[in-house]
Structure 1
């Protein structure tokens, strides 16, 4: 799989000439944030990269960028807070959410908060650039390596479990699943793919 600093020829999308190229990256994964910053700068963006919700909120409210790449889960809170603040400060901002915890509920929450797209990690710079710059209403191409059905199911169960404050009984009730079945699933490692 290509890395964030992979540079193709030609680029999949280009910044419009004379357009505001300011880009805010909010991600608490330092190496990923640095690689992505360099890759996006090579594509013509003027990058501001921060690692926390607090710094993201300050950047969004101080000088709202035209574009943003925001991680969903940050050490000090949810990236959705930054999306909302940026949407309030600059309604025309194009925002892409990134997450390692992809599921339908968080994708819907990201879009409702104002993100234009939602990409699972690891996302390469080409896919992110295309999402930021693509103004067409067409559906994106299917992913190269989509999650398996077992992995999607596991991710959904994990998300509901987290939303129920790691309460097995409440999670089992909401999933309409026997408690012991749920306990066995939770004890296993995530399926590959």
Structure 2
């Protein structure tokens, strides 16, 4: 009974934490927007999808550190599957809305934003999309054998999008959201180092003093 209650409260905490991690930045960006069915609609929606994609990717990065524990608390594979679909939709819609708004003119985008960080976004986008391509093709031996490498590649894409958003996001140049974004970026990088570096080294080179 006590164990069931503990699991219930843990699930409630995890759900609340996830909604807060995504919802608060989204609210900061959207609550000051004047919504109308006119030319401003696309420019208002455009950053929202970037926020959703980035914050969910951050949850993925952080959850990798706690994956063994999380698997005992929630349906971890379902969480990854559902959020991955939302991320995929968001990383498609985020640049697509910008392209539609600019009349599919890359020159306008490069004139309006700093080129270096646009390239960060483009490269990051292709690295992120490798996850979804690899997931579809995972039934093939090549992709299943290299799945962990695909995860690392997509994580590098996430880090590139962090620098892209931090430097170009109009809502991220000052205020509490910039601080939160830096926190997300730094913790995601540390989580990546642990998940794909330290933890794997510990598995490959266990403590020599351990009882065998």
Same topology, TM > 0.5: no
Question: TM-score scaled by structure 1?
Answer: 0.31
Higher strand share: 1
Question: TM-score scaled by structure 2?
Answer: 0.29
Higher helix share: 2
1 or 2 for the larger relative contact order (CA 8 Å, sep ≥6)? 2
